[in-house]
Amino acid sequence: MSMNKETDEKMSVIARVLDSDIWYSFTRSKVTMVAALVTFLIFASALFAPIISPHDPFDLASLSLMDSLLPPAWNAEGDPNYLLGTDDQGRDVLSTILYGSRISLAVGLVSVAFAAVLGITLGLVAGYMGGRVDAIIMRVADVQLSFPAILIALLIDGTVNALVGGMDRERSAFTVLVISIGLSFWVQYARTVRSSTLVERNKEYVQAARLIGLHPFLIMLRHVLPNVMGPVLVIATINLALAVITEATLSFLGVGIPGTQPSLGTMIRTGNDFLFSGEWWITFFPGAMLAALVLAVNLLGDWLRDALNPKLR
Amino acid sequence: MKDTLVNVENLTRIFDVSKPWLNRVIEREEKKLLLAVNGVSLEIRRGETFALVGESGSGKSTIAKMIVGLLSASQGKIDFDGIDLFQPGGAEMRALRQRYQMIFQDPFASLNPRWRVNKIIAEPLRKFDMESSESARHKRVEELLELVGMSAKDGVKFPHEFSGGQRQRIAIARALSSNPEFIVCDEPTSALDVSVQAQILNLMRDLQDELGLTYLFISHDLSVVRHMANRIGVLYLGRLVEVADGKELFRNPRHPYTKMLLNAIPDLDMTGREVARPDGEIPNPINPPSGCTFHPRCPIATEYCKREIPSARNSEAGSVACFEATGD
Amino acid sequence: MSDTLLGVKDLVVEFSTRRGILTAVDKVSFDLERGEVLGLVGESGAGKSITGSAIVGLIDPPGRIAAGTVHLAGQRIDNLPSEKMRRIRGDKIGMVFQDPLTSLNPLYTVAKQLVQTILTHKDISKKQARDRAIELLDKVGIPAADLRIDDYPHQFSGGMRQRVVIALALCADPELIIADEPTTALDVSVQSQIVGVLKKMCSEHGASVILITHDMGVIAEAADRVAVLYSGRMAEIGPVRDVIKHPQHPYTKGLMGSIPTITQEGDRLTQIPGSMPRLTDRPPGCAFAPRCEMAMDVCRQNHPEEKDVGTARVACHLMRKEGAVA
């Protein structure tokens, strides 16, 4: 069978991936494969939005109020130019969604990366050092956890706006979102990494490294970190979905991305005003996009958690 | 003339096992201290295998970790080749660290699962700047692999591709890479199957002969210890109750605990020797018995043993910490 | 009418994995007399625990019993529906595992667990059941059993817990007890106590025991007969004394030589080179052939049949001629 050692050595990285348990469990789950496909399509369309979208929603010159509030193309009053209709400013809904998911995903990815780096670092240090350092970091985490993400975001947004003023709002919005979402998510990484670190720290390979007098920083970086990344990957995936939702929520509440460069959340908020007058498409399509993205990413995260957890197999 | 390599004096380790401060205040509990190692003195001679035997809670692993510096001692002194291990400065410590190494119990936990074997074995080489170039290091790793009975080609694999015995060989190769004189072996075969245990024990003896190593061998298995050790120390609840030459300990055990352990060894030679079932169990080390901690299980204990703590009596054959023991 | 309690014939247990089908137990056969203690020894992965689980019908998917039969007291039990098998396990088979905590519910007192088990099997009053429970605890050597019976499992030490598990296994007066590594997690001095209790209780209750362990010492002390498994196959089965003193199969010989004993002189232990093959790449022919010094061509091609050699049954091509090979 395939355990032959000679061939094992020569296996390339790709072959190793194809042979791995993760890949196997991936190919065994139809739902996961569909979720991965959907995620990939959304990421790709967001990435290539400037190329594939039929209109440029930011090009004010091409906008015409004459075209505003058109229903989707298959409707009697629809315009074949605007497949999913247009919003109140005459922007093509499809193009805006593509550009909007670009912003939503960027906020999600950057804030998740920010939260992960912060949380992993603090969790590693807390778990490895223990004692007082651990106590302080984890108490800060507890305090952090008692503030809901939205409250933190509102606080930061309010503070920044007060300091910067309305002028730089457009420029600061992205940073404010990333920082506030990141700050409300790091605790989960810190706690998970800390508890895995507590386990790994007592394993004998870490003791072997301590024995030769390796610096604690190097032990954390070279030995502990690679072995605690499994659960982090799972959290990061699920957090991506959460971050996108939080961004949408904040934008919906008006503290997020401003209407000139709409994210999915901003679009939903705009559309919300027209929902009762019958222009459902402005809010429905961005909402469906958001739901599809979050569902797909969540399914991927769930699968990853099961695949990485040997106890469930 | 005896040539002492490691000298341990009055080594003591206390663990604080009490609940966190806040819980203690709320529940009005005292601090709980566990005396894991209690005034242990021993010397390990150059080139010998000194074994520490004991059951769980005897403190044998704690002693091992203190000697290699993985745990700090609460009291006492450890000299390595005449140098006080607890006092040295940076450069001296660095030089010392090269001279001792450790082999761990669980070969599945002692190798970083994300590193290739080459990198694992080369880590001490890198740390101590022992080879001039990358290729020299690589060559040394291959030599080490062959020294422990593996193939030089095995270096590119990951630990999970090996069986328990092979992993223990890799761990031994890593321990040998910095050319140490002294190796602490903490139950190196207790996680292995017997047929593999024999391979590892034989390998360790061969390496000792070849490289002139000194071993501190920690085990709970008296038969293994009998096979490996020149001298044996028996631990009970953190105290060294008896030290004797290997053969002598088995021929003429003096401490009643040693006798009990020997009698409990299964009769694999089918000689019809009656296996005596020991009485009682090891007491809770947080709340040990008064006086000699062995007295509740001891067949020859007197009233005096319940009050007084016996100190080690030295003699030609070794030392024994018991008021009633005979056979000096 | 022979006094056979358990008959295992050509038992095959397979696990289907993505790398194909693994045969974890390959045509293992043995009989167990009433009142007998049979040891199953082997290294990790030799299939000893799986054999035990297969007998009591506790093989979970992806594993399954692919062939062979198991008879308990004349009744075939390997093909029973799980509900019926569960009742047989409760009534006729007691089990003792390595970790006593897996058999005890941490939320209930020992009294509650014992009494409940007794009541499901016997039609007696609660008071009588409690008396019986105390009697059992006393018998397995728990001091002040009438006081300690109301303790929770975590209040007992490891050795005492294992005694409670033995008492629990005896509650229903089972005919067969399967003890899977019952002493492995215990200290040396406690180990031999537990072996003693197990042995005594079984002879008093007239139960047969399958003692699964990797420790030849435990076997030597407790078992009447021993079956040595290697890579899922039977290597040798026979009376303990004969197998230990005069092993026939080269594997058993190597195994016995590799165990350090306190009387042995000399520096080196006999060692068997290599390690047991993984189930995924078991060689054709005799599974031990690659490690065997005496392997012949036939060993690498054909799997040896089991043959009677003196008091033992041995699966080795060397046994073809006239019995024992020195």
Handedness of CA A227, A231, A237, A240 (dihedral sign): negative
Distance CA C137, CA C115 (A): 12
Distance CA B200, CA C97 (A): 29
Question: Percent helix, strand, coil in chain B (nearest 5)?
Answer: 35, 20, 40
Q: Do B250 and C262 touch (CB under 8 A)?
A: yes
Distance CA B264, CA B222 (A): 10
Res A250 pLDDT > 90: no
- Return the H-helix or E-strand segment holding C160: helix C158-170
- Dihedrals phi, psi of B84, to nearest 5 degrees: -70, 120
Digit-coded pLDDT (tens) for C127-186: 999 999 999 898 888 888 888 889 898 888 888 888 899 888 888 888 899 999 888 878
Res C29 pLDDT > 50: yes
Q: Mutation test of the interface with chain B: which of A212, A222, A227, choosing the one with the most B Cβ atoms within 10 A?
A: A212
Contacts C19 to A, Cβ<8 Å = 1-3
- Dihedrals phi, psi of C141, to nearest 5 degrees: 90, 35
Q: Which residues of B touch C (CB under 8 A)?
A: 55-56, 163-166, 193-199, 201-202, 205, 220-224, 226-227, 250, 260-262, 264-271, 275, 277-278, 281-282
pLDDT of residue A313: 39
Selection from C284, C276, C286, C172 nearest residue C236 by Cα? C286
Res C231 pLDDT > 50: yes
pLDDT of residue A204: 92
| Beta carbons within 8 Å of A167's beta carbon, 6+ residues apart | none
Residue written as tokens 């295992």?
A: C8
Selection from C311, C310, C228 nearest residue C28 by Cα? C228
Range of A26-30, B253-257, C15-19 with top mean pLDDT: B253-257
pLDDT of residue A196: 93
As a whole number, the mean pLDDT across chain A is 82
The low-confidence residues of chain B, meaning pLDDT below 50, are: 1, 328
CA-derived radius of gyration, chain C: 21
C320 band by pLDDT with thresholds 50, 70 and 90: low
ipTM for the assembly:
0.87
A166 band by pLDDT with thresholds 50, 70 and 90: low
Six token digits for residue C130: 């409690």
Least reliable range by pLDDT among A38-42, A98-102, A157-161, A191-195: A157-161
Q: Could you tell me the end-to-end alpha-carbon distance of chain A, in angstroms, rounded to an integer?
A: 22
Q: Which residue of C has its CA nearest to A5?
A: C281
Contacts 24+ apart (CB under 8 A), A71-75: A71/A279, A71/A281, A72/A281
Please give the order of strands across the beta sheet that includes B75-80.
B33-45, B4-16, B75-80, B83-84
In the stretch 39-78 of chain A, residues with CB closer than 8 A to chain B read: none
Res A1 pLDDT > 50: no
Res A116 pLDDT > 60: yes
Res A136 pLDDT > 50: yes
Selection from B7, B14, B89 nearest residue B41 by Cα? B7
Distance CA C74, CA C44 (A): 31
Strand partners, B182: B100, B214
Least reliable range by pLDDT among A59-68, A300-309, B279-288: A59-68
Res A142 pLDDT > 50: yes
Res A8 pLDDT > 50: no
Digit-coded pLDDT (tens) for C261-287: 777 666 678 888 888 888 888 888 899
Selection from B155, B153, B160, B189 nearest residue B174 by Cα? B155
Question: pTM to 2 decimals?
Answer: 0.85
A4 band by pLDDT with thresholds 50, 70 and 90: very low
Q: Beta strands C312-315 and C306-309: pairing type?
A: antiparallel
- Give all chains having 3 or more CB-to-CB distances under 8 Å with chain A: B, C
Task: Determine the residue type at C20.
Answer: G
pLDDT of residue A145: 84
A22 band by pLDDT with thresholds 50, 70 and 90: confident
Q: Mutation test of the interface with chain A: which of C16, C281, C282, choosing the one with the most A Cβ atoms within 10 A?
A: C281
A194 band by pLDDT with thresholds 50, 70 and 90: very high
Per CATH, the number for A21-312 is 1.10.3720.10
- Dihedrals phi, psi of A261, to nearest 5 degrees: -130, 75
Res C122 pLDDT > 90: no
Least reliable range by pLDDT among A309-313, B7-11, C3-7, C313-317: A309-313
Of B65, B97, B112, the CB nearest to A212: B97
Q: What average pLDDT does the segment C25-37 reach?
A: 90
Percent of chain A whose predicted confidence (pLDDT) is above 90:
26
Q: Which residue of C has its CA nearest to B274?
A: C221
Q: What average pLDDT does the segment C4-31 reach?
A: 88
Kindly list the structural domains of chain B, giving each domain's residue range(s) and its CATH number in brackets, ordered by start. 4-99+180-320 (3.40.50.300)
Cβ atoms of B118 and B151 within 8 Å: the answer is no
Res A81 pLDDT > 60: yes
Interface A-C, measured as beta-carbon pairs within 8 A, has a size of: 11
SS (H, E, C) chain A: CCCCHHHHHHCCHHHHHHHCHHHHHHHHCHHHHHHHHHHHHHHHHHHCHHHHCCCCCCCHHHCCHHHCCCCCCCCCCCCCCCCCCECCCCCEHHHHHHHHHHHHHHHHHHHHHHHHHHHHHHHHHHHHHCHHHHHHHHHHHHHHHCCCHHHHHHHHHHHHHHHHCHHHHHHHHHHHHHHHHHHHHHHHHHHHHHHHHHHHHCCHHHHHHHHCCCCHHHHHHHHHHHHHHHHHHHHHHHHHHHHHHHHHHHHHHCCCCCCCCCCHHHHHHHHHCCHHHCCCHHHHHHHHHHHHHHHHHHHHHHHHHHHHCHHHC
Q: Which residue of A has its CA nearest to B175?
A: A208
Contacts B195 to C, Cβ<8 Å = 43, 254-255, 258, 271-272, 275
Q: ∠ at Cα C276 (C275, C277), nearest 5°?
A: 110
Cβ atoms of B321 and B314 within 8 Å: the answer is no
User: What DSSP line would sit under C256-307, residue for residue?
Assistant: HHHS--SS--SSPPP---S-PPPGGGPPSS-TTGGG-TT--HHHHHSPPPEE
pLDDT of residue A167: 59
Distance CA B215, CA B50 (A): 6
